[in-house]
A and B are shown apart, each in its own frame.
Chain A
Amino acid sequence: MSERHARLPRERSGTSWQTEVEVTHGIGLHARPSVTFTRLAKSFPCSIEVAVDGSGEWLNGKSIVKIMGARIRRGARLRIRADGSRAEEAIVALGELVRRNFDEDRKLGRADGRAG
């Protein structure tokens, strides 16, 4: 994880950072994108939560069970918030991942991008 896109809007409140991004990927967060998203989220030490389309319900962004269960479709707006160590880095990385369509084009086949 490295890119820090200045384009990605973000807000800060104490140790908590938030951003909002639209899902433009073909189907939405189905199996493979959910794996990619939650694996990246789990690589950060801070707490990460996601709310869909202005919902007041914050889902654990590290839980694929919760992310899949939310059935996040194309066109949905995701609010991603992180609290704690490396929170800003985390929301930027996750926001950019969504913008890059979960790197689906680059990593055909493998959900996690490992050599396969």
Chain B
Amino acid sequence: MAVPVDCSGEAYRGTPVSPGRAWGPVHCARRADTILVDPVSGDPRAVLRRAVAAAVDDLRRLASEAAPDSAGILDFQIEMLLDEEILTPAFARIAAGEGPLLAWAGAMTAYINSFVPDDRDDDAFAARVADLTDLRQRVLDALDGRPRADFPAGAIYVGADMPPSVFLAHDWSAGGGIALGAGSAISHVALLARARGVPMVVGLGEIALADGNSALIDGDEGLLRLAPPAVEPVPMVVARRAVPPLGPLPTGDAVTLGVNINSLADLDAFDVAAVDCVGLVRTEFLFPTAADALNEERHVAAYVKILARLKGRPVTVRMLDLGGDKTLAGVAEGGAASLLGLRGIRLLLAHPELARVQARALLRAAALGPLSVLLPMVTLPGEVTAMAQIFAEEEARLAARGVSIARPPLGIMVEVPAAALTLDLFAAAAFFSVGTNDLMQYLSAAARDNPAVAPLNAGSEIALFRLLDQVSASARALGKPLSVCGDLAGEPQGLARLVAAGFRDVSVAPSRLAAVRELLRGAVNADAGAGVAHGP
């Protein structure tokens, strides 16, 4: 992105999205290139072949330095990768339309599963499972081996938009901010920025700015100011927005307050003793690359860490909700079309390999603590049954290998109007969680990250609350737990109306915890407030 340098100190005005101010060097975004099809031959098989060759090189380097014992294992792994037969099933999957990542993962998993011990077996073959799993991962890592699109710590990221994976890969502890020419106030990256307290402005238009410039981003005023005068020192990040005035809350049953987790760093952003649970783990943000998402051990490690930090409090993990602005190179390309297409559970069921990796990890983690699983973007009850079937199959496989497991309860996100209107048909789901952002998007048929239709989205609150009344009644009739994990629960008026509609279980971003707790305390103290009319 070659742009002329502009040192006039002029300001760009946009839409404030995440409060606070930051000043720092500018980093102009460049397109990250993902290699999924060979640029020369146009062949995804060539990509896989190259990744296998890279993994062999790695293993040879390791073998040259290894002790004789481990050199034996490395030799075995090298021989396996040099054997053309290992590519045959993966190539068959590519021919059937799968990308190289999922084709390799699926083919290797099928091969590895053939080593699950039967009753007459001994450990020698079962022990190969670990070596082969490691092989599978080495090639996946090689497939993902492109450089990360990270930028210097403390920088102001300037670009048309920002993929959530770039936000998540970055270390924000040194400050910095986000200035987007396009973008949206309700995109996932905006949600992440607010949760993390990173100043962010969108809708700035064409920004004439280059790397090396300095800029001030003002997330309260919605301003990007170029080369601010040095005589006016600005703290790196200033004042978060104060808690808005309390809205009236009805009293009654106690409200369960949970926290939403987007990254493992979020675990340090709240006082565990002060929350009742983790109401939502957005796993698509925990595993930014396909190699991560397809790595069972990385899943398990993350879930165990969250369970350990919560010290026995319940943790609800949402399965990968990919699509829309949440992409995964090589697996989910995202884009506006996928908002009404292959997204959430639809994508998981279309790529069962991805679902199976996560299901195995969730089954293993559930043996170690109170873990529930939330299915994203469910439309029909059959999708829940299909996913339950995957869990049952993986449970049997793990049990055959003697792995300690527990079947977690499967709940659904209520975010597709069809599901919200027919909640009574979802007796197969163990619990419900309303995603208010997406439900509003689909109710209004207005994409949440398209500024041109944002007012329609925001204006559909009446429809949303009418539907939420019905959802609340249906869940009560079924006797199933119901919670809200959308942004609405973190806003004073939104929270008040949710409580009025019968919701008693909310989960919010760590940065909203204090404010929400304050609101709830106010409600409990204001006994006389019961019966106040709320909502439309």
Whether A and B are associated in the same complex: the answer reads: yes
Q: Mark B81-120, 1 if CB is under 8 A from A, else 0.
A: 0011110000000000000000000000001001100000
A70 smallest CB distance to B (angstroms)? 10
> Complex: how many Å from CA A39 to CA B71?
16
Given contacts A28-B124, A69-B111, contact A64 B83 (CB under 8 A): yes
Contact A110 B79, beta carbon cutoff 8 Å: no
Any chain B CB within 8 A of the CB of A116? yes
A21 at the interface (CB under 8 A from B): no
Contact A111 B76 (CB under 8 A): yes
Per-position contact with A for B63-91: 1 when CB-CB < 8 Å, else 0? Answer: 00000110111011001100111100000
Q: Are B75 and A110 in contact (CB under 8 A)?
A: yes
Cβ contacts A38-52/B at 8 Å (1 or 0 each) = 110000000000000
Check if A65 sits within 8 Å of B72, measured CB to CB: no
Q: Please, what's the 1-or-0 string for A96-113, where 1 marks a CB less than 8 Å from any CB in chain B?
A: 000000000000111110
Contacts of B127 in A (CB 8 A): 30
Contacts A32-B72, A109-B72; is A39 near B79 (CB within 8 Å)? Answer: yes
Question: Does A12 belong to the interface (CB within 8 Å)?
Answer: no
A71 at the interface (CB under 8 A from B): yes
Cβ contact within 8 Å between B76 and A71 = no
What residues of B have a CB within 8 angstroms of the CB of A39 in the complex?
79
Task: Decide if A66 is an interface residue (CB 8 Å cutoff).
Answer: yes
CB distance from A109 to the nearest CB of B (A): 3
Which residues in chain B, 2-34, are within 8 Å of chain A measured between CB atoms?
none
The contact of A71 among B69, B71, B115, by CB within 8 Å, is: B115
Q: How far is the CB of A7 from the nearest CB of chain B, in Å?
A: 28
B85–A65 CB distance below 8 A: yes
- When chains A and B are docked, how far (Å) is the Cα of A72 from the Cα of B125? 10
> A76 to chain B: closest CB distance in Å?
12
Contact A63 B128 (CB under 8 A): no
A-side contacts of B84, CB under 8 Å: 63
The answer to the question of B268 belonging to the interface, with a C-beta cut-off of 8 Å to chain A, is no
Partner of B71, one of A30, A63, A68, A109: A109
Determine if B394 is an interface residue (Cβ-Cβ < 8 Å): no
Enumerate A72-116 residues with CB–CB distance to B below 8 Å.
73, 108-112, 116
Q: Is there contact, CB below 8 Å, between A63 and B85?
A: yes
B125 touches A71 (CB 8 A): yes
- For the complex formed, measure the closest distance between the CB of B286 and the CB atoms of chain A, giving whole angstroms: 33
Q: Is the interface of A mostly helix, strand, loop or mixed?
A: mixed
Name the interface size band of chain A: 20 to 34
Of A30, A64, A66, A69, the residue contacting B124 (CB under 8 A) is A30
User: In the bound complex, do residue A109 and residue B80 qualify as a contact, i.e. CB atoms below 8 Å apart?
Assistant: no
Contact assessment for B76 and A65 in the assembled complex, using a CB-CB cutoff below 8 Å: no
In the assembled complex, the Cα of A60 lies from the Cα of B86 at a distance in Å of 12
Range class of the B interface residue count = 20 to 34
A111 nearest in chain B by CB position: B75
Q: Which residue of A lies closest to B122 (CB)?
A: A27
A50 CB to nearest chain B CB (Å): 13
Distance (whole angstroms) from the CB of A23 to the closest CB of chain B: 12
Bound together, the chains give a CA A116 to CA B69 distance in angstroms of: 10
Chain B's nearest CB lies how many Å from the CB of A102?
Answer: 12
Q: How far is the CA of A45 from the CA of B84 in the complex (A)?
A: 17
A-contact bits for B127-142, CB 8 A (1 contact / 0 none) = 1100100000000000
Task: Knowing A38-B79, A63-B83, A69-B111 are in contact, say whether A116-B68 is a contact too (CB < 8 A).
Answer: yes
Contact B68 A110 (CB under 8 A): yes
Chain B contacts for A8, CB-based, 8 A: none
Residue of B nearest to A66 (CB): B85
| Interface residue? A34 (CB, 8 A) | yes
Q: Provide the residues of chain B in CB contact with A71, threshold 8 Å.
A: 115, 121, 125
Closest to B63 in A: A116
Nearest-CB residue, chain B, relative to A27: B124
B80 touches A64 (CB 8 A): yes
Partner of B128, one of A30, A38, A110, A111: A30
B128, A109: Cβ atoms closer than 8 Å = no
A64 to B121, CA, bound (A): 20
**Please, which residue of chain A has its CB at the minimum distance from the CB of B87?**
A65
Least CB distance, A24 to chain B, in whole angstroms: 15
**Are the CB atoms of B124 and A65 closer together than 8 Å?**
no
Report the minimum CB–CB distance from A100 to chain B (whole Å). 18
**Are B68 and A109 interface neighbours, CB within 8 A?**
yes
Nearest chain B residue, comparing its CB with the CB of A26: B124
Contact A35 B79 (CB under 8 A): yes
List B contacts of A27 (CB < 8 A): 122, 124
A47 to chain B, nearest CB (A): 14
Would you call B72 and A111 a contact (CB within 8 A)?
yes
Instruction: Please judge, given known A-B contacts A27-B122, A32-B76, A111-B72, whether A68 and B128 are in contact too, CB under 8 Å.
Output: yes
Instruction: Considering the complex, give the chain B residue whose CB is closest to the CB of A62.
Output: B83
- The docked-state distance in angstroms from the alpha carbon of A28 to that of B75 is 18
**Minimum Cβ distance to chain A for residue B431 (Å):** 42
Q: For window 145-165 of chain B, which residues contact chain A by CB distance below 8 Å?
A: none
Show 26 residue pairs from A and B whose CB-CB distance is below 8 angstroms, ordered by the A residue.
A27-B124, A30-B124, A30-B125, A30-B127, A30-B128, A31-B72, A31-B76, A31-B124, A31-B128, A34-B76, A35-B75, A39-B79, A64-B76, A65-B80, A68-B80, A68-B128, A71-B115, A71-B125, A108-B68, A109-B69, A109-B72, A110-B68, A111-B71, A111-B72, A111-B75, A111-B76
Give B residues with C-beta under 8 Å from A: 68-69, 71-73, 75-76, 79-80, 83-86, 111, 114-115, 121-122, 124-125, 127-128, 131
8 cross-chain pairs, A with B, having the tightest CB-CB distances, nearest first = A109-B68, A65-B85, A27-B124, A111-B75, A31-B76, A30-B124, A63-B85, A111-B72
